[in-house]
Amino acid sequence: MQPNYAVDMRLNIRTPMRDGVDLSSDIYLPKASGRFPTVLMRTPYDNNTPLMIEKAMRLANTGYACVIQDVRGRWDSDGVHYALFGHGPDGFDTQEWIGQQEWSDGKIGMAGGSYLGWVQWQSAPHRSQHLTCIAPRVMCGDLYSGLIHPGGAFQLNVALTWGMRTNGRTAQSIEYHNWTEAFRSIPLIDMDQQAGRTLQFWRDWVTHTEYNAYWDEVNVENKWGEIAAPALIMGGWYDLYSHNTFINFNGLRLHGRTPEARQSQLIVGPWPHALSVSTKTGDIDFGANSLYDLEDLELRWFDYWLRGIDNGIVGEAPLRLFIMGINEWRDEREWPLARTDWQKWYLHSAGNANSLLGDGSLSPEEPSDEPADHFVYDPDFPVQTAGGNNCCSPDIVPWGPYDQRDVEMRGDVLCYTSEPLAADLEVTGPIKAVLYAATDGLDTDWTAKLVDVSTSGYAKNLCDGIVRARYREGFTAPKLLQPDQTYQYEIDLAVTGNVFQKGHRIRIEVSSSNFPRFDRNHNTGNDLGTDTEMRSAQQTVQHSRAHPSHVLLPVIPRQ
Protein backbone atom coordinates (compact mmCIF):
# COMPACT_ATOMS: atom_id res chain seq x y z
CA MET A 1 0.00 0.00 0.00
CA GLN A 2 1.33 3.42 -1.03
CA PRO A 3 1.94 6.07 1.69
CA ASN A 4 -0.05 9.30 1.71
CA TYR A 5 2.16 12.22 2.69
CA ALA A 6 1.18 15.85 2.92
CA VAL A 7 3.11 17.99 0.44
CA ASP A 8 5.58 20.84 0.84
CA MET A 9 5.67 23.12 -2.23
CA ARG A 10 8.79 25.16 -3.00
CA LEU A 11 8.24 27.32 -6.07
CA ASN A 12 10.58 29.04 -8.50
CA ILE A 13 13.75 27.61 -7.00
CA ARG A 14 16.64 28.88 -9.14
CA THR A 15 18.67 26.03 -10.57
CA PRO A 16 22.11 27.01 -11.92
CA MET A 17 23.41 25.75 -15.28
CA ARG A 18 27.07 25.51 -16.23
CA ASP A 19 26.94 28.71 -18.29
CA GLY A 20 25.53 30.82 -15.45
CA VAL A 21 21.91 30.75 -16.62
CA ASP A 22 19.35 29.97 -13.90
CA LEU A 23 16.35 27.77 -14.67
CA SER A 24 13.14 27.81 -12.65
CA SER A 25 12.21 24.63 -10.75
CA ASP A 26 9.06 24.01 -8.75
CA ILE A 27 9.68 21.33 -6.14
CA TYR A 28 7.08 19.17 -4.41
CA LEU A 29 8.30 17.23 -1.37
CA PRO A 30 6.69 14.78 1.02
CA LYS A 31 6.31 16.37 4.44
CA ALA A 32 8.45 13.81 6.21
CA SER A 33 12.01 13.43 7.38
CA GLY A 34 14.57 11.66 5.27
CA ARG A 35 15.64 11.62 1.64
CA PHE A 36 13.48 10.63 -1.33
CA PRO A 37 13.89 9.47 -4.91
CA THR A 38 13.04 12.20 -7.39
CA VAL A 39 10.87 12.35 -10.51
CA LEU A 40 12.03 15.14 -12.82
CA MET A 41 9.89 16.72 -15.54
CA ARG A 42 11.33 19.42 -17.79
CA THR A 43 8.84 21.36 -19.91
CA PRO A 44 8.51 24.29 -22.32
CA TYR A 45 4.76 24.46 -21.58
CA ASP A 46 4.84 26.08 -18.11
CA ASN A 47 5.65 24.12 -14.96
CA ASN A 48 2.71 25.71 -13.13
CA THR A 49 -0.22 24.19 -15.02
CA PRO A 50 -2.93 22.25 -13.15
CA LEU A 51 -2.09 18.91 -14.80
CA MET A 52 1.58 19.22 -13.92
CA ILE A 53 0.83 20.29 -10.36
CA GLU A 54 -1.66 17.47 -9.84
CA LYS A 55 0.85 14.89 -11.03
CA ALA A 56 3.56 16.35 -8.81
CA MET A 57 1.23 16.28 -5.83
CA ARG A 58 0.32 12.61 -6.45
CA LEU A 59 3.98 11.67 -6.64
CA ALA A 60 4.83 13.58 -3.47
CA ASN A 61 1.84 11.99 -1.72
CA THR A 62 3.36 8.58 -2.44
CA GLY A 63 6.87 9.44 -1.24
CA TYR A 64 8.65 10.94 -4.22
CA ALA A 65 10.23 14.32 -4.54
CA CYS A 66 9.03 15.88 -7.77
CA VAL A 67 10.84 18.62 -9.68
CA ILE A 68 9.09 20.40 -12.56
CA GLN A 69 11.37 22.73 -14.44
CA ASP A 70 10.76 25.32 -17.16
CA VAL A 71 13.31 24.70 -19.90
CA ARG A 72 15.75 27.42 -20.91
CA GLY A 73 14.13 30.60 -22.16
CA ARG A 74 10.57 29.57 -21.32
CA TRP A 75 8.26 30.97 -18.66
CA ASP A 76 10.21 31.63 -15.43
CA SER A 77 13.55 30.29 -16.65
CA ASP A 78 16.32 32.56 -17.84
CA GLY A 79 18.19 32.23 -21.10
CA VAL A 80 17.12 32.07 -24.73
CA HIS A 81 14.75 29.45 -26.08
CA TYR A 82 15.64 27.68 -29.33
CA ALA A 83 13.17 24.88 -29.97
CA LEU A 84 14.37 21.33 -29.29
CA PHE A 85 18.10 22.10 -29.12
CA GLY A 86 20.47 22.48 -26.17
CA HIS A 87 18.62 20.31 -23.65
CA GLY A 88 21.21 17.60 -23.05
CA PRO A 89 23.60 19.69 -20.93
CA ASP A 90 20.75 21.45 -19.11
CA GLY A 91 19.17 18.13 -18.22
CA PHE A 92 22.46 16.76 -16.96
CA ASP A 93 23.19 19.86 -14.88
CA THR A 94 19.71 19.71 -13.34
CA GLN A 95 20.14 16.04 -12.45
CA GLU A 96 23.50 16.70 -10.83
CA TRP A 97 21.99 19.60 -8.88
CA ILE A 98 19.10 17.45 -7.64
CA GLY A 99 21.49 14.76 -6.48
CA GLN A 100 23.20 17.28 -4.19
CA GLN A 101 20.02 18.46 -2.42
CA GLU A 102 19.37 17.49 1.17
CA TRP A 103 15.99 15.93 0.28
CA SER A 104 17.39 13.72 -2.52
CA ASP A 105 18.42 10.11 -2.03
CA GLY A 106 20.48 10.34 -5.23
CA LYS A 107 18.11 8.46 -7.57
CA ILE A 108 16.23 10.23 -10.35
CA GLY A 109 13.59 9.13 -12.83
CA MET A 110 12.22 11.33 -15.60
CA ALA A 111 8.66 11.53 -16.90
CA GLY A 112 6.59 13.25 -19.57
CA GLY A 113 5.57 13.07 -23.20
CA SER A 114 6.35 14.77 -26.49
CA TYR A 115 8.78 17.65 -25.74
CA LEU A 116 8.95 16.33 -22.15
CA GLY A 117 10.00 13.00 -23.64
CA TRP A 118 12.51 14.65 -25.95
CA VAL A 119 14.41 16.25 -23.07
CA GLN A 120 14.67 12.82 -21.45
CA TRP A 121 16.27 11.31 -24.54
CA GLN A 122 18.57 14.32 -24.86
CA SER A 123 19.94 14.12 -21.33
CA ALA A 124 20.21 10.33 -21.05
CA PRO A 125 23.47 9.92 -23.07
CA HIS A 126 25.18 12.40 -20.73
CA ARG A 127 24.83 9.74 -18.01
CA SER A 128 24.41 11.67 -14.80
CA GLN A 129 25.31 9.38 -11.91
CA HIS A 130 21.84 10.10 -10.52
CA LEU A 131 19.69 9.31 -13.59
CA THR A 132 18.34 5.85 -12.81
CA CYS A 133 15.41 5.43 -15.24
CA ILE A 134 13.27 7.38 -17.70
CA ALA A 135 9.67 7.14 -18.94
CA PRO A 136 9.44 9.01 -22.27
CA ARG A 137 6.08 9.13 -24.05
CA VAL A 138 5.38 9.85 -27.72
CA MET A 139 8.74 11.10 -28.95
CA CYS A 140 11.37 10.28 -31.54
CA GLY A 141 15.12 10.08 -31.11
CA ASP A 142 16.03 11.61 -34.48
CA LEU A 143 14.55 15.05 -35.20
CA TYR A 144 15.35 14.90 -38.90
CA SER A 145 13.58 11.68 -39.86
CA GLY A 146 11.19 11.52 -36.92
CA LEU A 147 9.75 15.03 -36.89
CA ILE A 148 10.93 17.65 -39.37
CA HIS A 149 11.92 15.81 -42.59
CA PRO A 150 10.41 12.28 -42.63
CA GLY A 151 11.14 10.68 -45.98
CA GLY A 152 12.97 13.87 -46.92
CA ALA A 153 9.74 15.88 -47.08
CA PHE A 154 8.97 18.73 -44.71
CA GLN A 155 6.37 17.92 -42.03
CA LEU A 156 4.58 21.20 -42.53
CA ASN A 157 1.54 21.14 -40.26
CA VAL A 158 3.23 20.25 -37.00
CA ALA A 159 6.34 22.33 -37.67
CA LEU A 160 4.36 25.51 -38.34
CA THR A 161 1.41 25.22 -35.94
CA TRP A 162 3.46 23.87 -33.03
CA GLY A 163 6.31 26.23 -33.84
CA MET A 164 3.98 29.25 -33.82
CA ARG A 165 2.42 28.18 -30.53
CA THR A 166 5.74 27.49 -28.80
CA ASN A 167 7.71 30.48 -30.04
CA GLY A 168 8.81 33.04 -27.47
CA ARG A 169 8.79 32.83 -23.71
CA THR A 170 5.12 31.96 -23.15
CA ALA A 171 2.33 30.18 -25.04
CA GLN A 172 1.10 31.87 -28.21
CA SER A 173 -2.47 31.65 -29.54
CA ILE A 174 -2.89 30.21 -33.05
CA GLU A 175 -6.65 29.68 -33.08
CA TYR A 176 -7.45 32.77 -35.15
CA HIS A 177 -4.97 32.22 -37.94
CA ASN A 178 -6.22 31.40 -41.43
CA TRP A 179 -4.27 28.17 -41.70
CA THR A 180 -5.69 27.25 -45.10
CA GLU A 181 -4.12 30.40 -46.49
CA ALA A 182 -0.94 30.20 -44.42
CA PHE A 183 -0.12 26.62 -45.48
CA ARG A 184 -0.37 27.57 -49.17
CA SER A 185 1.91 30.59 -49.03
CA ILE A 186 5.27 30.47 -50.79
CA PRO A 187 8.21 30.39 -50.52
CA LEU A 188 8.28 27.86 -47.73
CA ILE A 189 11.02 29.64 -45.80
CA ASP A 190 8.82 32.75 -45.42
CA MET A 191 5.69 30.89 -44.37
CA ASP A 192 6.32 31.75 -40.73
CA GLN A 193 6.19 35.44 -41.57
CA GLN A 194 3.08 34.98 -43.68
CA ALA A 195 1.49 33.39 -40.59
CA GLY A 196 2.50 36.39 -38.49
CA ARG A 197 5.82 35.62 -36.78
CA THR A 198 9.49 35.20 -37.57
CA LEU A 199 10.75 31.90 -36.18
CA GLN A 200 14.50 31.39 -36.37
CA PHE A 201 14.26 27.67 -35.76
CA TRP A 202 11.66 27.38 -38.56
CA ARG A 203 14.01 29.06 -40.99
CA ASP A 204 16.86 26.81 -39.89
CA TRP A 205 14.72 23.69 -40.29
CA VAL A 206 13.70 24.73 -43.80
CA THR A 207 17.30 25.56 -44.71
CA HIS A 208 18.74 22.27 -43.44
CA THR A 209 16.85 20.04 -45.85
CA GLU A 210 19.59 17.39 -45.85
CA TYR A 211 20.75 15.39 -42.86
CA ASN A 212 23.93 17.11 -41.69
CA ALA A 213 25.83 18.13 -38.55
CA TYR A 214 22.96 20.39 -37.48
CA TRP A 215 20.67 17.39 -37.07
CA ASP A 216 23.37 14.96 -35.99
CA GLU A 217 24.08 17.05 -32.91
CA VAL A 218 20.75 16.05 -31.34
CA ASN A 219 20.28 12.60 -32.88
CA VAL A 220 19.94 10.05 -30.08
CA GLU A 221 19.73 7.11 -32.48
CA ASN A 222 23.52 7.11 -32.81
CA LYS A 223 23.98 7.22 -29.01
CA TRP A 224 22.14 4.12 -27.74
CA GLY A 225 25.39 2.70 -26.42
CA GLU A 226 25.80 5.79 -24.23
CA ILE A 227 22.47 5.37 -22.43
CA ALA A 228 22.62 3.48 -19.13
CA ALA A 229 19.09 4.18 -17.85
CA PRO A 230 16.19 1.84 -18.72
CA ALA A 231 13.21 3.42 -20.45
CA LEU A 232 9.49 2.79 -20.16
CA ILE A 233 8.37 3.99 -23.60
CA MET A 234 4.74 4.78 -24.45
CA GLY A 235 3.25 5.31 -27.90
CA GLY A 236 0.16 5.07 -30.07
CA TRP A 237 -0.58 3.57 -33.49
CA TYR A 238 -1.94 6.96 -34.59
CA ASP A 239 0.72 9.05 -32.90
CA LEU A 240 3.07 11.21 -34.89
CA TYR A 241 5.95 9.10 -33.57
CA SER A 242 4.43 5.61 -33.86
CA HIS A 243 7.39 4.19 -35.79
CA ASN A 244 9.97 5.99 -33.65
CA THR A 245 8.79 4.43 -30.40
CA PHE A 246 9.79 1.04 -31.78
CA ILE A 247 13.13 2.39 -33.00
CA ASN A 248 13.79 3.70 -29.49
CA PHE A 249 12.67 0.41 -27.93
CA ASN A 250 14.98 -1.65 -30.14
CA GLY A 251 17.79 0.86 -29.72
CA LEU A 252 17.93 0.34 -25.97
CA ARG A 253 16.93 -3.34 -25.90
CA LEU A 254 19.69 -4.24 -28.36
CA HIS A 255 22.37 -1.60 -27.80
CA GLY A 256 21.85 0.00 -24.38
CA ARG A 257 25.01 0.56 -22.37
CA THR A 258 23.95 -1.50 -19.35
CA PRO A 259 21.91 -4.63 -18.59
CA GLU A 260 19.39 -2.28 -17.00
CA ALA A 261 18.99 -0.23 -20.18
CA ARG A 262 18.42 -3.46 -22.08
CA GLN A 263 15.39 -4.12 -19.87
CA SER A 264 13.49 -1.21 -21.42
CA GLN A 265 9.80 -1.70 -22.21
CA LEU A 266 7.21 -0.33 -24.63
CA ILE A 267 3.42 -0.08 -24.65
CA VAL A 268 1.45 0.96 -27.77
CA GLY A 269 -2.31 1.49 -27.90
CA PRO A 270 -4.79 2.68 -30.57
CA TRP A 271 -4.11 6.23 -29.54
CA PRO A 272 -3.10 9.57 -31.06
CA HIS A 273 -0.45 11.85 -29.59
CA ALA A 274 -2.50 12.44 -26.43
CA LEU A 275 -2.41 8.68 -25.68
CA SER A 276 -5.00 7.02 -23.45
CA VAL A 277 -7.49 9.80 -22.75
CA SER A 278 -10.51 8.51 -24.71
CA THR A 279 -11.81 5.27 -26.15
CA LYS A 280 -12.33 7.10 -29.43
CA THR A 281 -9.62 8.09 -31.87
CA GLY A 282 -10.81 9.82 -35.01
CA ASP A 283 -13.97 8.07 -36.19
CA ILE A 284 -13.34 4.84 -34.33
CA ASP A 285 -14.33 3.88 -30.79
CA PHE A 286 -11.93 1.13 -29.78
CA GLY A 287 -13.89 0.26 -26.64
CA ALA A 288 -13.30 0.52 -22.91
CA ASN A 289 -10.57 -2.12 -23.14
CA SER A 290 -8.45 0.30 -25.15
CA LEU A 291 -7.94 2.59 -22.15
CA TYR A 292 -4.87 1.92 -20.04
CA ASP A 293 -3.81 3.46 -16.75
CA LEU A 294 -0.45 4.78 -17.89
CA GLU A 295 0.08 6.71 -14.67
CA ASP A 296 -0.18 3.51 -12.67
CA LEU A 297 2.17 1.72 -15.07
CA GLU A 298 4.67 4.55 -14.79
CA LEU A 299 4.45 4.50 -10.98
CA ARG A 300 5.20 0.77 -10.97
CA TRP A 301 8.24 1.52 -13.16
CA PHE A 302 9.50 4.16 -10.75
CA ASP A 303 8.75 2.01 -7.70
CA TYR A 304 10.94 -0.78 -9.10
CA TRP A 305 13.90 1.26 -10.33
CA LEU A 306 13.90 4.10 -7.80
CA ARG A 307 12.64 2.40 -4.65
CA GLY A 308 13.72 -1.17 -5.25
CA ILE A 309 10.18 -2.55 -4.83
CA ASP A 310 10.01 -6.02 -6.37
CA ASN A 311 6.63 -5.57 -8.06
CA GLY A 312 7.40 -7.92 -10.96
CA ILE A 313 7.34 -5.32 -13.70
CA VAL A 314 10.70 -6.23 -15.25
CA GLY A 315 9.65 -9.88 -15.40
CA GLU A 316 6.69 -9.00 -17.60
CA ALA A 317 6.79 -9.04 -21.40
CA PRO A 318 8.75 -6.02 -22.63
CA LEU A 319 6.24 -5.21 -25.36
CA ARG A 320 2.50 -4.69 -24.88
CA LEU A 321 0.45 -4.04 -28.02
CA PHE A 322 -3.20 -3.27 -28.66
CA ILE A 323 -4.24 -5.13 -31.81
CA MET A 324 -6.89 -3.17 -33.67
CA GLY A 325 -9.66 -4.93 -35.55
CA ILE A 326 -10.09 -7.44 -32.73
CA ASN A 327 -9.40 -4.74 -30.09
CA GLU A 328 -7.32 -6.90 -27.79
CA TRP A 329 -4.11 -6.35 -25.82
CA ARG A 330 -1.26 -8.78 -26.37
CA ASP A 331 2.18 -9.22 -24.85
CA GLU A 332 5.17 -9.76 -27.13
CA ARG A 333 8.91 -10.24 -26.69
CA GLU A 334 10.50 -8.50 -29.71
CA TRP A 335 9.94 -6.21 -32.69
CA PRO A 336 9.29 -7.12 -35.43
CA LEU A 337 7.57 -10.21 -34.11
CA ALA A 338 9.72 -13.31 -34.62
CA ARG A 339 6.84 -15.27 -36.16
CA THR A 340 6.18 -12.67 -38.86
CA ASP A 341 5.40 -13.99 -42.33
CA TRP A 342 6.67 -11.23 -44.61
CA GLN A 343 4.34 -11.16 -47.60
CA LYS A 344 4.59 -9.11 -50.77
CA TRP A 345 1.21 -7.92 -52.01
CA TYR A 346 1.53 -6.62 -55.54
CA LEU A 347 -0.13 -3.71 -57.34
CA HIS A 348 -2.18 -4.63 -60.41
CA SER A 349 -4.37 -2.83 -62.94
CA ALA A 350 -5.25 -2.59 -66.60
CA GLY A 351 -3.84 0.92 -66.56
CA ASN A 352 -6.75 2.67 -64.88
CA ALA A 353 -6.24 2.47 -61.11
CA ASN A 354 -7.22 6.12 -60.72
CA SER A 355 -9.63 6.52 -57.77
CA LEU A 356 -11.55 3.79 -55.96
CA LEU A 357 -13.75 3.52 -59.06
CA GLY A 358 -10.76 2.40 -61.12
CA ASP A 359 -9.50 -1.09 -61.90
CA GLY A 360 -6.60 -1.26 -59.43
CA SER A 361 -6.23 -4.47 -57.46
CA LEU A 362 -3.90 -5.89 -54.82
CA SER A 363 -2.89 -9.54 -54.40
CA PRO A 364 0.02 -11.82 -53.46
CA GLU A 365 0.31 -12.86 -57.13
CA GLU A 366 3.20 -11.31 -59.01
CA PRO A 367 2.21 -8.97 -61.84
CA SER A 368 2.34 -9.93 -65.49
CA ASP A 369 3.27 -7.36 -68.11
CA GLU A 370 0.51 -4.98 -67.15
CA PRO A 371 0.12 -1.41 -68.43
CA ALA A 372 1.35 1.32 -66.09
CA ASP A 373 -0.92 3.73 -64.24
CA HIS A 374 -0.72 7.46 -64.85
CA PHE A 375 -1.90 10.58 -63.08
CA VAL A 376 -1.15 14.28 -62.94
CA TYR A 377 0.15 15.73 -59.71
CA ASP A 378 -0.64 19.43 -59.54
CA PRO A 379 0.97 21.06 -56.47
CA ASP A 380 -1.64 23.82 -56.65
CA PHE A 381 -4.33 21.18 -56.04
CA PRO A 382 -2.72 18.69 -53.64
CA VAL A 383 -4.36 15.68 -52.03
CA GLN A 384 -5.70 16.78 -48.66
CA THR A 385 -4.65 15.14 -45.41
CA ALA A 386 -7.53 13.11 -43.98
CA GLY A 387 -6.52 12.05 -40.48
CA GLY A 388 -3.55 9.83 -39.79
CA ASN A 389 -0.46 10.29 -37.64
CA ASN A 390 -0.70 14.01 -37.15
CA CYS A 391 0.09 16.45 -34.37
CA CYS A 392 -0.60 18.66 -32.53
CA SER A 393 -3.67 20.65 -33.50
CA PRO A 394 -6.49 18.21 -34.30
CA ASP A 395 -8.90 21.09 -34.84
CA ILE A 396 -6.67 22.26 -37.72
CA VAL A 397 -5.50 18.92 -39.13
CA PRO A 398 -7.37 15.95 -37.59
CA TRP A 399 -5.54 12.91 -36.28
CA GLY A 400 -6.52 9.25 -36.21
CA PRO A 401 -8.63 7.01 -38.44
CA TYR A 402 -11.17 8.55 -40.81
CA ASP A 403 -13.08 7.43 -43.88
CA GLN A 404 -10.73 7.89 -46.85
CA ARG A 405 -13.31 7.57 -49.63
CA ASP A 406 -13.45 11.30 -50.35
CA VAL A 407 -9.70 11.27 -50.93
CA GLU A 408 -9.98 8.06 -52.94
CA MET A 409 -12.45 9.62 -55.37
CA ARG A 410 -9.68 11.81 -56.77
CA GLY A 411 -8.15 10.91 -60.10
CA ASP A 412 -4.65 11.62 -58.78
CA VAL A 413 -5.01 8.93 -56.12
CA LEU A 414 -4.32 5.40 -57.36
CA CYS A 415 -6.25 2.75 -55.42
CA TYR A 416 -5.24 -0.92 -55.35
CA THR A 417 -7.75 -3.08 -53.46
CA SER A 418 -7.71 -6.78 -52.64
CA GLU A 419 -10.60 -9.18 -52.96
CA PRO A 420 -12.64 -9.66 -49.77
CA LEU A 421 -10.58 -11.73 -47.36
CA ALA A 422 -11.69 -15.33 -46.85
CA ALA A 423 -10.43 -15.26 -43.24
CA ASP A 424 -9.06 -12.81 -40.70
CA LEU A 425 -5.59 -11.52 -41.62
CA GLU A 426 -3.40 -9.90 -38.98
CA VAL A 427 -0.86 -7.30 -40.08
CA THR A 428 1.35 -6.21 -37.20
CA GLY A 429 4.74 -4.65 -37.78
CA PRO A 430 6.58 -2.09 -39.91
CA ILE A 431 5.02 -1.48 -43.32
CA LYS A 432 6.98 -0.66 -46.47
CA ALA A 433 5.81 0.13 -50.00
CA VAL A 434 8.14 -0.40 -52.94
CA LEU A 435 7.21 1.63 -56.02
CA TYR A 436 8.71 1.60 -59.47
CA ALA A 437 7.75 5.00 -60.75
CA ALA A 438 8.67 7.83 -63.07
CA THR A 439 7.92 11.53 -63.42
CA ASP A 440 8.54 14.02 -66.20
CA GLY A 441 10.41 16.44 -63.92
CA LEU A 442 13.58 16.69 -61.87
CA ASP A 443 11.94 15.99 -58.50
CA THR A 444 8.60 14.96 -57.03
CA ASP A 445 7.08 13.16 -54.05
CA TRP A 446 5.53 9.70 -53.74
CA THR A 447 3.05 8.82 -51.01
CA ALA A 448 1.44 5.56 -49.97
CA LYS A 449 -1.23 4.64 -47.45
CA LEU A 450 -2.47 1.33 -46.00
CA VAL A 451 -6.26 1.18 -45.63
CA ASP A 452 -8.68 -1.35 -44.08
CA VAL A 453 -11.89 -1.43 -46.14
CA SER A 454 -14.89 -2.82 -44.26
CA THR A 455 -17.81 -4.74 -45.77
CA SER A 456 -19.78 -1.47 -45.84
CA GLY A 457 -17.03 0.24 -47.85
CA TYR A 458 -15.75 2.38 -44.97
CA ALA A 459 -12.05 2.93 -45.70
CA LYS A 460 -10.07 3.23 -42.45
CA ASN A 461 -6.55 4.58 -42.76
CA LEU A 462 -3.98 2.61 -40.76
CA CYS A 463 -0.62 4.18 -41.62
CA ASP A 464 1.07 6.10 -44.40
CA GLY A 465 4.34 7.58 -45.57
CA ILE A 466 6.16 9.73 -48.10
CA VAL A 467 9.47 9.86 -49.93
CA ARG A 468 10.93 12.88 -51.66
CA ALA A 469 12.44 11.66 -54.90
CA ARG A 470 15.71 13.58 -54.60
CA TYR A 471 16.36 11.71 -51.32
CA ARG A 472 15.59 8.23 -52.70
CA GLU A 473 19.20 7.12 -52.07
CA GLY A 474 19.65 8.80 -48.67
CA PHE A 475 19.20 12.08 -46.86
CA THR A 476 22.74 13.44 -46.93
CA ALA A 477 23.24 14.04 -50.67
CA PRO A 478 20.19 14.78 -52.84
CA LYS A 479 20.15 13.50 -56.40
CA LEU A 480 17.75 14.98 -58.92
CA LEU A 481 15.99 12.76 -61.42
CA GLN A 482 16.30 12.06 -65.09
CA PRO A 483 12.83 12.92 -66.42
CA ASP A 484 10.70 9.93 -67.44
CA GLN A 485 13.20 7.42 -66.05
CA THR A 486 11.81 4.68 -63.80
CA TYR A 487 13.36 4.54 -60.33
CA GLN A 488 12.73 2.29 -57.34
CA TYR A 489 11.35 4.08 -54.30
CA GLU A 490 10.99 2.63 -50.82
CA ILE A 491 8.33 4.36 -48.75
CA ASP A 492 8.30 3.82 -45.01
CA LEU A 493 4.62 3.61 -44.03
CA ALA A 494 5.48 3.47 -40.31
CA VAL A 495 3.77 0.71 -38.29
CA THR A 496 0.44 -0.81 -37.46
CA GLY A 497 -1.15 -3.61 -35.46
CA ASN A 498 -4.45 -4.55 -37.11
CA VAL A 499 -6.57 -7.55 -37.97
CA PHE A 500 -8.26 -7.21 -41.34
CA GLN A 501 -11.43 -9.12 -40.58
CA LYS A 502 -13.00 -11.72 -42.81
CA GLY A 503 -14.81 -9.98 -45.65
CA HIS A 504 -12.68 -6.84 -45.34
CA ARG A 505 -10.33 -5.76 -48.10
CA ILE A 506 -6.78 -4.39 -48.04
CA ARG A 507 -6.20 -1.19 -49.98
CA ILE A 508 -3.06 0.71 -50.90
CA GLU A 509 -3.34 4.32 -52.01
CA VAL A 510 -0.55 5.83 -54.09
CA SER A 511 -0.25 9.53 -54.90
CA SER A 512 2.21 12.42 -54.71
CA SER A 513 0.93 14.65 -51.92
CA ASN A 514 -0.53 14.57 -48.41
CA PHE A 515 -1.13 18.23 -47.63
CA PRO A 516 -0.81 20.02 -45.25
CA ARG A 517 0.72 17.23 -43.22
CA PHE A 518 3.66 17.52 -45.61
CA ASP A 519 4.73 20.44 -47.75
CA ARG A 520 4.08 20.36 -51.47
CA ASN A 521 6.84 19.32 -53.83
CA HIS A 522 6.82 21.92 -56.62
CA ASN A 523 8.23 19.37 -59.11
CA THR A 524 10.88 21.83 -60.30
CA GLY A 525 14.04 20.48 -58.69
CA ASN A 526 14.75 23.96 -57.30
CA ASP A 527 15.78 24.73 -53.74
CA LEU A 528 12.92 23.50 -51.58
CA GLY A 529 12.83 26.41 -49.17
CA THR A 530 13.01 29.33 -51.58
CA ASP A 531 11.25 27.96 -54.67
CA THR A 532 8.33 30.12 -55.89
CA GLU A 533 7.71 28.22 -59.14
CA MET A 534 5.30 25.32 -59.52
CA ARG A 535 4.67 22.87 -62.31
CA SER A 536 2.32 19.93 -62.77
CA ALA A 537 4.02 16.55 -62.99
CA GLN A 538 3.06 13.62 -65.21
CA GLN A 539 3.37 10.60 -62.94
CA THR A 540 3.74 6.93 -63.88
CA VAL A 541 3.56 3.90 -61.58
CA GLN A 542 4.79 0.60 -63.00
CA HIS A 543 3.63 -2.89 -62.01
CA SER A 544 5.12 -5.47 -64.30
CA ARG A 545 7.48 -8.42 -64.20
CA ALA A 546 10.43 -6.06 -64.51
CA HIS A 547 8.97 -3.49 -62.11
CA PRO A 548 6.83 -5.31 -59.54
CA SER A 549 5.53 -2.50 -57.30
CA HIS A 550 4.28 -3.94 -54.03
CA VAL A 551 3.67 -3.44 -50.33
CA LEU A 552 5.52 -5.62 -47.81
CA LEU A 553 3.05 -6.76 -45.16
CA PRO A 554 4.12 -8.30 -41.82
CA VAL A 555 1.47 -11.00 -41.58
CA ILE A 556 1.12 -12.69 -38.19
CA PRO A 557 -0.16 -16.28 -38.28
CA ARG A 558 -3.45 -16.55 -36.42
CA GLN A 559 -3.32 -19.14 -33.66
Domain residues for the domain of 504 are 341-556
The answer on 193 and 315 residing in a single domain is no
Residue 126 has pLDDT above 80, yes or no: yes
CATH number of the CATH domain containing 98: 3.40.50.1820
Total tally of structural domains belonging to the chain: 3
Q: What is the CA angle 482-523-149, rounded to 5?
A: 100
**The domain boundary residue, chosen from 306, 332, 358:** 332
In a domain, 149, yes or no: no
pLDDT above 80: residue 2: no
pLDDT surpasses 90 at 559: no
323 and 404 in a single domain? The answer is no
Whether residues 430 and 400 fall in one domain: yes
> For 222-245, how does the pLDDT look when each residue is reduced to its tens digit (9 = 90+)?
999 999 999 999 999 999 999 999
Residue 419 belongs to domain with CATH number: 2.60.120.260
Instruction: Determine the Cα–Cα distance for residues 333 and 355; give it in Å rounded to an integer.
Output: 40
| Domain presence at residue 272 | yes
Residues 6+ apart with CB under 8 A from 184: none
Q: Are residues 181 and 319 part of one domain?
A: no
419 occurs within a structural domain: yes
More confident residue, 166 or 249: 249
For residue 1, the model assigns a pLDDT of: 67
Q: Is the same domain home to 313 and 349?
A: no
**Per-residue pLDDT averaged across 356-364, rounded?**
98
Please report the pLDDT score of residue 3 as a whole number: 82
What sign does the dihedral 141-145-146-149 (CA atoms) show?
Answer: positive
Let me know whether 262 and 238 are in one domain. Answer: yes
pLDDT single digits (tens) 33-45: 999 999 999 999 9
Whether residue 283 sits in one domain with residue 161: no
Residue 168 has pLDDT above 90, yes or no: no
User: Does 175 score more than 90 pLDDT?
Assistant: no
Q: Which of 193, 208, 223 is the last residue of a domain?
A: 208
Classify residue 2: in a domain, yes or no: no
Whether 395 is in a domain gets the answer yes
Instruction: Let me know if residue 402 belongs to a domain.
Output: yes
Question: Looking at 332, 352, 373, which one is the last position of a domain?
Answer: 332
Reported as a pLDDT band with limits 50, 70 and 90, residue 79 is very high
**360/414 Cα distance (integer angstroms):** 7
71 and 172 together in one domain: no
Does residue 173 surpass a pLDDT of 90?
Answer: no
Phi then psi for residue 282, to 5 deg, are: 60, -130
pLDDT of residue 196: 83
Residue 387 covered by a domain: yes
Banded pLDDT at 308 (limits 50, 70, 90): very high
The answer to the question of residue 150 being in a domain is no
- The verdict on 475 and 409 lying in the same domain is yes
Whether residue 517 sits in one domain with residue 415: yes
For the chain, the average pLDDT equals 97
Q: Are residues 63 and 116 in the same domain?
A: yes
383 and 464 both lie in a single domain: yes
The span from the CA of 153 to the CA of 345, in Å, is 26
404-463 pLDDT, tens digit each: 999 999 999 999 999 999 999 999 999 999 999 999 999 999 999 999 999 999 999 999
Burial (0-12, 13-18, 19+ Cβ within 10 Å), 551 = buried
Catalytic positions, please? 114, 239, 273
